């Protein structure tokens, strides 16, 4: 949990400017958001005239702080610019995904090259362009430096996953959750993985448990393609049946054919409730969703 300031979206820019000038941002976290508010990580409580602020403890995604990159950036940034910087990033295999504040955009390529120079594990630097969008929850990425690619290889739970970070949704932060569920699976379970993406849930379960059968459903054709490739790469393709399409259309057909599942995973935030009826129809008595 981290101290956050809760700000209405229409007031976010004013609040952000105030926090940057006073060095109030807490480094190492991404801001949170819901339909109406943004939640910025802060070092301390503060006030802004004529602005309603609320402070609360909230879970935020952590970023990987890189002191070497931050220190190297002093070579090309003024002290004022350096105080604006957010020197953290997500490492996805050999790709680093960074966030560059608007004030530093003229120097973003220089900053990206410095990152490559200070972290030898990284071969490519990309930056996010907006948030996750559309039905497939994908995120546009802009190339900044290094090897010009958006495809990378990840390692998790003794498995390897190839993904395109722009065309496929993959959350490395759900690795702990996948491990937790993996440890709950008992031999002989029939498992349905909804919204399976590039296959992290079904591939890990197939590789590391004695589940009887695994069904994976993904609506994004790119995610479906990578899911099948990753199953083959990890030599579990015979254990998983992949479907590309809408969960609410495919699951009723599976149930009609007599299939039921002892465990169903639904790693879809916000709109997952829309698919709960299909899951309830497909779960066995005493099963787990």
Give residue-wise pLDDT tens across range 155-201. Answer: 888 899 999 999 998 887 788 889 899 999 999 999 999 999 999 99
Residue 82: inside a domain, yes or no? Answer: yes
115 and 175 together in one domain? no
Of the candidate ranges 96-105, 160-169, 197-206, the one whose mean pLDDT is the lowest? 96-105
Residue 162: inside a domain, yes or no? Answer: no
Whether residue 250 has pLDDT greater than 90: yes
237 and 258 together in one domain? yes
Whether residue 283 has pLDDT greater than 80: yes
Q: Is the pTM of this model over 0.75?
A: no
pLDDT of residue 47: 86
Q: What is the CATH number of the domain that holds 51?
A: 3.30.70.2580
- What domain range includes position 96? 64-149
Residue 157: inside a domain, yes or no? Answer: no
193 and 283 together in one domain? yes
Taking only the tens place, the pLDDT of each residue in 39-83 is: 998 888 888 888 888 998 888 877 655 667 888 888 888 888 888
Q: Among 116, 149, 182, where does a domain finish?
A: 149
Q: What is the CATH number of the domain that holds 110?
A: 3.30.300.110
116 and 188 together in one domain? no
Residue 121: inside a domain, yes or no? Answer: yes
Residue 116: inside a domain, yes or no? Answer: yes
State the SS3 of the chain.
CEEEEEEEHHHHHHHHHHHHHCCCECCCECCEECCCEEEEEECCCCCCCCCCCEEEEECCCECEECHHHHHHHHHCCCHHHHHHCCCEEEEECCEEEECCCHHHHHHHHHHHHHHHHHCCCCCEEEEECCCCECCCCECCEEEEEECCCCEEEEEECCEEEEEECCCCCCCHHHHHHHHHHHHHCCCCCEEEEECCCCCHHHHHHHHHCCCCEEEEEECCHHHHHHHHHHHHHCCCHHHEEEEECCHHHHHHHHHHCCCCEEEEECCCCCCHHHHHHHHHHHEEEEEEC
Q: How many domains does the chain have?
A: 3
Residue 118: inside a domain, yes or no? Answer: yes
279 and 179 together in one domain? yes
Residue 163: inside a domain, yes or no? Answer: no
**Where residue 270 falls among pLDDT bands split at 50, 70, 90?**
low
Residue 77: inside a domain, yes or no? Answer: yes
Taking only the tens place, the pLDDT of each residue in 11-40 is: 888 888 888 777 687 777 888 888 888 999
244 and 188 together in one domain? yes
pLDDT of residue 64: 58
133 and 207 together in one domain? no
């Amino acid at each position: 949990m981290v101290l956050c300031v809760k700000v209405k979206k229409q007031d976010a820019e004013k609040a952000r400017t105030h926090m940057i000038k006073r060095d109030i941002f807490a480094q190492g976290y991404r801001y949170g958001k819901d339909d109406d508010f943004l939640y910025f990580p802060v070092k301390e409580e503060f006030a802004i005239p004529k602005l309603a602020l609320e402070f609360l403890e909230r879970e935020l995604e952590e970023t990987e702080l890189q002191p070497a990159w931050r220190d190297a950036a002093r070579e090309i940034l003024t002290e004022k610019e350096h105080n604006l910087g957010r020197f953290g990033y997500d490492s996805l295999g050999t790709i680093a995904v960074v966030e560059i504040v608007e004030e530093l955009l003229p120097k973003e390529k220089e900053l990206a090259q410095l990152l490559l120079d200070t972290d030898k594990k990284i071969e490519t630097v990309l930056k996010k362009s907006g948030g996750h969008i559309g039905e497939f929850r994908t995120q546009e990425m802009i190339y900044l430096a290094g090897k010009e690619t958006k495809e990378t290889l990840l390692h998790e739970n003794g498995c390897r996953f190839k993904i395109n970070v722009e065309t496929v949704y993959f959350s490395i932060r759900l690795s702990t959750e996948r491990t937790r569920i993996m440890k709950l699976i008992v031999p002989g379970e029939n498992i349905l993985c909804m919204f399976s993406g590039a296959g992290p849930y079904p591939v890990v379960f197939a590789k590391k448990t004695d589940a009887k059968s695994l069904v994976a459903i993904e609506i994004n054709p790119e995610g479906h393609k990578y899911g099948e490739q990753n199953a083959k790469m990890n030599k579990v393709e015979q254990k998983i049946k992949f479907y590309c399409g809408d969960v609410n259309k495919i699951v009723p057909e599976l149930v009609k054919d007599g299939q039921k599942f002892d465990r169903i995973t639904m790693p879809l935030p916000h709109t997952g409730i829309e698919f709960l009826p299909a899951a309830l129809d497909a779960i066995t008595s005493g099963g787990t969703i």
